[in-house]
Amino acid sequence: MLNIKDELSHVRLFQKLIPEAMEVFTHSVDQIYEMFNTAVEHECKWTNHIVGNNILGITEYSTEQYTKYLANIRLRSIGLEPLYPDKKYSKSPYTHLERFSDTKKEAHTKANFFEASVTSYVMSSGVSGWDEI
């Protein structure tokens, strides 16, 4: 299973390789879009099979929106136009969760919950006892 660090390493690798390959194999742009579209379809089907609508705040619709949003980001990172131009795919449906997974508050560094360090003590310093939490 890939972890977030592996995924980011692969993204960086392909950000370097794909633009160079597109210079040599100019016909490959259409194939890249086709592969992205296929990958998005499979990712949505898999996520909906595993998660479905069983987690509060995550729906099949939001899963599709998020997956297409990420695909557009990845395409831009290799110098291509977004595959999904609809405005709803230009923003993450899970922005409210970004703070929980973004340890540096830069919206591009994710961490495993159990490996991350505490970044804010605001909640704990604002209460006087466990009963208030």
Q: How many other CB atoms sit within 10 Å of the CB of residue 65? A: 20
What confidence score (pLDDT) does residue 106 get?
A: 56
pLDDT-based confidence at 63, cuts 50/70/90? very high
**Is residue 19 predicted with pLDDT exceeding 90?**
no
Position 9 in a domain? no
Domain that holds residue 87: 27-101
Among 21, 11, 66, CA closest to 43: 66
Position 6 in a domain? no
What confidence score (pLDDT) does residue 60 get?
A: 93
Position 3 in a domain? no
Position 8 in a domain? no
Torsion of CA 13, 2, 115, 66, to 10 degrees: 80
Position 56 in a domain? yes
Number of domains in the chain: 1
Cβ(68)–Cβ(84) below 8 Å: yes
Lowest-pLDDT range, 15-19, 40-44, 54-58?
Answer: 15-19
Q: Provide the whole-model pTM.
A: 0.67
pLDDT-based confidence at 1, cuts 50/70/90? very low
Position 15 in a domain? no
Token reading at 115: 């490996």
What confidence score (pLDDT) does residue 89 get?
A: 95
Position 85 in a domain? yes
Tens digit of pLDDT for each residue in 64-108? 999 999 999 999 988 889 999 999 999 999 887 766 665 555 555
Position 107 in a domain? no
